[in-house]
Amino acid sequence: MDTYQYAMAALAAVLAIVAAVIHAPQTGSSGSSSGGDMQPQPEVEQADTRLHVRDVYNCPTPGDVDATAHWQVYNTSGLPLTLYISDEEGNAYQVLERIGSPAERAWTPKLEDGSYHLTCVFHSDSAVKSETFTVAESPFTGAPKMVPITDREVSAVSITHAAAQKKRLPELQAQAQALADAIRSGDRSAAQRAYLTYMETYRSFDDASAMWPGEGLDGYAEVERMLFSDRALSAEPADALAAAVDHTAHALETGHFAIPAPDYGLRTHEVMEEFERFDLRGERDYGAHALSAALRGSVRATRETLDPLRELVESRGLDTAPIYDQLNVLNSLADDLDGKYDTAFDQWPQEDRLRLQAEVAKANELLAPVATMTVIRRMD
């Protein structure tokens, strides 16, 4: 899933809080998907020059900096790239986010005197650390820095989140069975209401539900197509869905599941990001035109993913209050728009479409730093 589409808008917020550090091997990850056995040697470049990232095996080493660095970062590695600056004690100072490929970005990091290295973080691939470079005669002192968030900390957050989700699964099971019973009764209106209740709850388990063990719960789309059309009612797809929910609940009850620590921060951001990417384009509307219910579910999923992470990111300097405020705004907006339109989103009046798009985009902008501060766990 592409989590880089919206992060440019979040760059200012990310730079303000300073990103987490990355502990990465000196060469590329052995699991790199980019292929090839030969790994080029690091290149040392001048302080006032281009830092050229050519592949996923090599992160360029800047030349020693006299006073202030003025760099042009040029990425032709074939993968989106994030750059971090860290010192030898593991404190993180600066970050340059989401550089496309090919793309060029200017960077003037503010670093005090000391020794540093760059880490090139490649999307869904390796992370590579440069050789050390030094800064001398810097005009800056007291540069903000952040103690890195560790895998152990994020893993504890993920386990807490998984335990809370497990407690809510009976609610989803009951609603799936109520949906099947309503369809079997032959009352289409009652079945539609039961479906919307189920769908909102199901969406509140995003993004973890896509990672649950078992056969998957995508059968709700077929139920929606049947209920919100002229098709004859049949309990078969709803019965299959209820059985799948029961099977998933049993698998989670008897086994172990938690969002992997390297992915947790991304998942916190991706729920609303995918709402913007898919729901606002009508790609998950199968006839119900239930955007308000989907939005409420996505907001609840985001909130429940962020809740156990809140103390951790706040201890590293992130103010989460604006995020929660914006989630409240989205909930209120969903209630305001609930039942207002029975058409697809692209048929709404422009004023309400732009209003919803702007508020969702703002939420994603605020959530991007959460992903940045925690996503680097994959590189430890």
Sequential DSSP letters for 65-106: EES---EEEEE-SSS-EEEEEEETTS-EEEEEEEE-SSEEEE
**For 134-152, how does the pLDDT look when each residue is reduced to its tens digit (9 = 90+)?**
999 999 888 777 777 777 8
pTM: 0.69
Query: Given this model, what pLDDT does residue 151 score?
Result: 78
Domain ranges of the chain: 21-31+40-136, 151-379
The pLDDT-based confidence of 91 (bands split at 50, 70, 90) is confident
Per the listing, tokens 């620590």 go with 261
**Contacts (Cβ under 8 Å, ≥6 apart) of 242:** 173, 176, 177, 179, 180
Beta bridge partners of 103: 75
Nearest to 44 by CA among 36, 56, 52: 52
Q: What is the mean pLDDT of residues 190-205?
A: 96
Mean pLDDT of the 63-70 span: 90
pLDDT at 36 over 60: no
How much is the mean pLDDT over the chain?
83
CA dist list (Å): 125 to 55, 57, 59, 77: 11, 10, 14, 11
Q: CB-side exposure of 116: number of CA atoms within 13 Å?
A: 31
pLDDT at 307: 96
> For residues 373 and 313, is the Cβ–Cβ distance under 8 A?
yes
- Better-scored residue on pLDDT, 334 or 122: 334
pLDDT tens across 206-234, in order? 877 777 876 778 889 999 999 999 999 99
Amino acid letter, 103: A
- Between 180 and 379, where is the model more confident? 180
CATH no., domain 21-31+40-136? 2.60.40.420
Q: Which of the 8 DSSP states describes residue 146?
A: B
Report the alpha-carbon distance of residue 189 to residue 297 in Å, rounded: 21
Q: Does this chain's domain 21-31+40-136 share its CATH topology with 151-379?
A: no
180 pLDDT band, cuts 50/70/90, is very high
Kindly give the pairing relationship between strand 71-75 and strand 103-107: antiparallel
CATH number of 151-379: 1.20.1420.20
Q: Tell me: the pLDDT tens digits for 257-282?
A: 888 887 888 888 889 999 999 999 99
Report the pLDDT value the prediction gives residue 89, as an integer from 0 to 100: 78
